[in-house]
Structure 1
């Protein structure tokens, strides 16, 4: 574990003699990978690679929960960074021992001593400065001291006296899940071809074999096949071995505990009970939420009614067709998406960030999410709801792209998480209407009220003194009473004594009347002369990184 770009995946490359980094878009790990490294004829170590990017906090937490030892990778040039601290917290919470790998010691600006001191400040005391935590200076890029790191891992494992039950019913944890119909490479299984729903399971008890029936969350599988990290079928997986399991009816969630049951009938009954419990809980939560919303709307209505009564504007004339106009406007002020990802863990990270969006000036609607390649059902659903399809690091066939074009469905493909989020934010920003800002030209106080008669009609006139700026007849005006805007209008008359004028300066007195002669003035009112300036708005959305 460690901060983004501190060299975790490069270290695993060195251990594995592969090149995972070149396959990671944007240079960062985007979901959990797991593989086994033999260290002797009888011993092997299973490594789990967790992302360092802030968006994947839950994956790191899961990684800490299922592991026996945390190797904390800290770059000697950067030192302790935000996700370094988060990883230390995850390890402490899971009560898992830490080994620190101080990486990038081959760099010119590497500072091992400073890194050790920074770690000590946050409670990680290395042996080199009198503590009890093993620290190993390494260079993952140049494979320096990798053997010493493995020795340290075996030493800590021996001290822990790690044991498991190889003979009981199978138990394990889902590291990752995906719908595999593309034949693309996978972190654990590099050559899975068209296996349907697959999940990476870390075996923690028993021996997993073909035909074993597992329940994980709300998913059931009769194991059809097991694949090791090289993509080869294996007959069984023993303790601490990660394997890709095919045959799932539905995709389990990353982090779900998997356990063996005696029959599919019993497994289905267990899942049915879980679903019913979740449905009942959701109905209860929805009922509370609806009640709260009703109370909020009622309170707001009453406050608005009292305000309008106080200002004499209880009744408002409704323009013809305004209902349809409002409906059309609301449609334009929404952005609807359908999101597909390569694996469940990445989808989970994306949804956690998307759910932080709270800017109701342009709501973000998610019509559906899923794992796997874009298919015909996705296109039909996107067409029905007018949604844009986002395909994150998942397969989009040429046929699907052509069909989307024919159906005029926007389809966007991304491989880096923050590029996709920025695109969604840009689309939301485009839909937020500009805000009209009043630029005040001048203000005047109403000192007297009188009527004049024109064409047998009485026209209310406000006798005013300009207190600031200028009043320009050609501009817009608003009537402010007790700090609240009562009316906005143009003026039909502006006089200085008996002379019609186009403008009045500060300190001068004038008489004016609104174009709408039904508006009544009161002494103490304020007349504000202004222009409208339109200001573009940006969607408020903090990704957290």
Structure 2
């Protein structure tokens, strides 16, 4: 029913059916062109006004509890009232405690500030007293020296004329001494000067400390790198010592020339030569210019030129053999029994491919490394440290099992203490298993047999033990001395027993090292990082490697800029058996090189230059023919053998080495694979230029070409092939070399997109806001995520949206949203590579 207001009834309005707010109807006449009109009905709705009922105000006044609480019971109201009062009391107590704590803290700060001021005041008074004592001593020494000089300079005839001048000089000296003493006396004129100097000196440190305190928050290059500022050279320090010595002895004449024995190597920088002669660098550069040689202080000169300069300066030349530069790398003399301390065992996990080496290590570390490797196989050496439940540290090295990574397994066996040979219980002994046994025997390290995949239905541990007998490996169950454990990386069975066996074997080996000597270690892996530069994974074997140490490793040298452990944390030092990533190299070393810490930068640079020169000469000698017969034989061989030149670029040094060795094994009498260049890092324009000149394809293993290199390759027609699994790489090159040109699945690059922003959406995950920079982004195409031109992830798109609509493709220059299937580690500035696969006929160029 519709309510009828009294106001409406009083005004005589007719009753009608309308809304609670009321609706009025009017007729409006609407005019159009040509005199046409039309009557339109217009309805106007009025807003309903609620008038409080009589007596509501009295009810509210009678109930002070409020409108919300008027429906509460008395007990509930009392309970809530008490809770509010308790909260107010707690807040007041908290404010009181905070005020008391603030007062106590202010009092403590005032006390500390007073103590600090008293200490600074005492230090200033002590410095003033020392300065006064030093000034008095200097004045007395100067007066005595002046008196002695006057007596010595007196002419002989003066003595014959009489002894009158002596008393005069003595009296003058006594008067001067008296004046000096009076100046030092509290009441003398010197007292005022001393007091004024004390006041000035008292004020100066305060300003210096204030400035130091004010500038403490400024970030400088020296503070950021934790390195000391500019220092004087060794030659400058020697010259200063000589000047101080002459000043103390009172000599003001021409200094005597010091003839030094200067060691001259085959190559030396101008700066180092000046330091060895204790001469100014500017004087050495001037001498070189006078001899017609324009060189700066950082340039290197040969031994003959250095000998000429040393003789010009009057020093004696000591020629040193070229190989003597290695003598600075000497073993520390403190490696006796007293300095030895226990160290963690280094355990290398070896075995055939896909026998569960990395999965076993994952189960021990409680991580998942397998998913991060392309194709589910390990292609790098990984170094990790694990602490057992008993508190013992164990260093693990995970080596690849593929046949191409033979050198990696050999390198892992050389730096290890214990080898864990993983054999699958359902697959038994395989070729790489036998190879791992050979590596362990060559290194002379004990083995522990881990029979993995014991949870499989086809598992037969006894068959594994029997086949190992054929390779002279006798386990304990068969009456031998080699430990064996049945384990399962899936269920975790036998892992505790395996760790106990490792601890037992380490205890028998009694592994010790001296942590207080200069560090020595082995390079497990090396790579070129775009953001961090050359990075080497080093396993420290002796001594302690610290931040700031200067080291030489292979043909490279550097200063430790940062140390990063296996958890990605920065550390200041790494002791024996600790794997760390070392930053600060001047170039990428070879995997397997030995790292040695040396005394100074000059020694490190000299050793690295010498080793680089030897390697360059060795490569030149190996690739050149010296006699006419050798030239003819080489020309005939090249005529009969077809060559397939390639350029190889990889993400790490170990993978590049393994690829080169695998390609060399493919070579036959008819076809030879020739690796023109191999290196680490992204593919650059220089690689494209080299490939174009030789007609070679470029093979990229887990790396990509940068934008200039891609454009250059497209213009010059250079083929760039990308791989992430070494199986596919070796198989493709083998088919190309053998002439099996069957159709293959080839990738066709569709486009590139750059991530501008990452959004986190509930229920969906992370979505990348992208802009398509090249080509087209297609929903059905495959995608790769590139970070610093290195492949991070490969998969498919979960969604491709343009605004809020799901689309099939997005053109270049347009923005879109992308989400990956089962992958969320995306960041801003990452690049998404979109590609499609197609079947094409292969041709051998």
Residue 736 of structure 2 corresponds to which residue in structure 1? Answer: 427
The residue aligned with 2:560 is 223
| Structure 2 residue 410 is the aligned partner of structure 1 residue 101 | no
* Of 134, 141, 148, the match for 2:497: 148
The answer to whether residue 378 in structure 2 is matched with residue 29 in structure 1 is: yes
2:378 corresponds to 1:17: no
Structure with the larger helix share: 2
1:127 aligned partner = 476
Task: State the match for 2:578 in structure 1.
Answer: 241
CA contact (8 A) 2:552 2:596 kept: yes
Is the Cα contact below 8 Å between 1:333 and 1:431 reproduced in 2? no
Q: Does 1:259 align with 2:599?
A: no
CA distance in 2 between partners of 1:226 and 1:91 (Å): 30
1:80 paired residue number: 429
CA deviation string 1:212-241 (max 9, x = no partner): 111111111211111111222111111101
CA-CA distance at 1:352 after TM superposition: 1.0
**1:337-363 deviation line (CA, Å, top 9, x unaligned):** 221011111111111122234446555
Gapped runs of 5+ residues in structure 1?
Answer: 182-193, 302-329, 433-537, 540-545
Report the counterpart of residue 611 of structure 2 in structure 1: 274
Distance 1:397 1:415 in 2: 17
C-alpha deviations, 1:431-479, integer Å up to 9, x for none? Answer: 99xxxxxxxxxxxxxxxxxxxxxxxxxxxxxxxxxxxxxxxxxxxxxxx
CA distance, structure 1, for counterparts of residue 603 and residue 634 of structure 2: 47
Q: Distance in 1 between matches of 2:654 and 2:486?
A: 31
Q: How far apart are the structure 1 equivalents of 2:655 and 2:529?
A: 15
Alignment partner of 1:115 out of 437, 453, 464: 464
1:366 aligned to 2:715? no
Contact 2:664 2:674 in 1 (8 A): no
SS at match of 1:420: helix
Tell me if structure 1 keeps the 8 A contact 2:450–2:487.
yes
Distance 1:17 1:353 in 2: 33
Q: Which residue of 1 aligns with 2:351?
A: 2
Q: State the superposition RMSD in angstroms.
A: 2.7
Q: 1:334 touches 1:431 (CA, 8 Å); kept in 2?
A: no
The separation in 2 between residues aligned to 1:160 and 1:353, in whole angstroms, is 36
Give yes or no for contact 1:171–1:204 (8 Å, CA) kept in 2. yes
Q: CA deviation at 1:423?
A: 2.1
Shift of 1:387: 2.8
Deviation at 1:294, TM superposition (A): 3.5
Residue in 2 aligned with 1:413? 722
1:250 aligns with 2:559: no
Output aligned runs, 1:348-497, within 5 Å. 348-359=657-668, 361=670, 363-397=672-706, 400-401=709-710, 403-429=712-738
Q: Per-residue displacement from partner, 1:179-233 (whole Å, max 9, x unpaired)?
A: 012xxxxxxxxxxxx1110000000011111111111111112111111112221
1:206 to 543, 564, 570: 543
Which whole-Å deviations, capped at 9, do the CAs of 1:410-432 have from their partners, x for residues lacking one?
11100111211222234345599
Is the 1:68–1:97 Cα contact (8 Å) retained in structure 2? yes
Deviation of 1:85 (Å): 1.3
1:287 positional shift = 5.6
CA displacement at 1:100 relative to structure 2: 0.8
Deviation at 1:20, TM superposition (A): 1.2
Say whether residues 1:338 and 2:650 are aligned partners.
no
| CA gap 1:114/1:411 in 2 versus in 1, 3 angstroms | same
- Kept in 2: contact 1:71–1:100 (CA 8 A): yes
Residue 157 (str. 1) matches residue 466 (str. 2): no
Q: Distance in 2 between matches of 1:335 and 1:283?
A: 21
1:431 and 1:125 mapped to 2: Cα distance?
Answer: 44
SS of structure 2 residue aligned to 1:92: helix
Q: CA deviation at 1:90?
A: 1.0
TM-score, length-scaled by structure 2: 0.44
In structure 2, what is the Cα distance between the partners aligned to 1:405 and 1:294?
Answer: 37
The number of residues matched between the two structures is 393
Q: Which runs of structure 2 are paired with 1:318-337 in the superposition (5 Å)? A: 334-337=643-646
TM-score under structure 1 normalisation? 0.67
Contact 2:685 2:708 in 1 (8 A): no
Q: Which structure dedicates a bigger proportion of its chain to strand?
A: 1
Secondary structure at the aligned position of 1:177 is classed as strand
Partner of 1:310: none
SS at match of 1:422: helix
1:195 maps to which residue?
Answer: 532
Could you tell me whether the CA contact under 8 Å between 2:421 and 2:436 is conserved in 1? yes
Cα 1:164–1:114 shift into 2, 3 Å: same
CA contact (8 A) 2:684 2:708 kept: no
Q: Which has the higher contact order (CA 8 A, sep 6+)?
A: 1
